[in-house]
Amino acid sequence: MLNQWMLIGALAVSTYLSRIIGVEVMAGRKMRPALRLYFNYVPIAIISALIVKQIFIPSEGHLDLSFPVLISCISTAIVIKITKKFLLSAVIGILIGLLSRYLL
């Protein structure tokens, strides 16, 4: 358990430092449109990779599908599409995910 907290701490520090360094290096510089487009898609790609990793769980040499996580993701996507409110969508997705985990 201690190793996990050390890893979380190290990742938090490295993330914070990389953000600060990035802001200092890029402050006042004009970016090309292609580079700006690239940086706009990086957060979406990272979040997608994290979600897919949670939906497909490796087990005994094959991938299993986590239905509670899948149901939670789909419900969050539907709510955010309808309401356009991120926090509300995240809370509803978490609640539906918890319900589906304990009811399925």
Q: Are 60 and 35 in contact (CB under 8 A)?
A: no
Torsion of CA 26, 30, 36, 39, to 10 degrees: 0
Encode pLDDT of 25-43 as tens digits: 877 788 889 988 888 898 8
Q: If pLDDT is split at 50, 70 and 90, which confidence band does 2 have?
A: low
Is it the case that residue 86 has pLDDT exceeding 70?
Answer: yes
Please report the pLDDT score of residue 90 as a whole number.
Answer: 93
Please report the pLDDT score of residue 91 as a whole number.
Answer: 95
Please report the pLDDT score of residue 1 as a whole number.
Answer: 59
Mean pLDDT along residues 77-103 = 94
Domain layout of the chain by residue ranges: 1-30
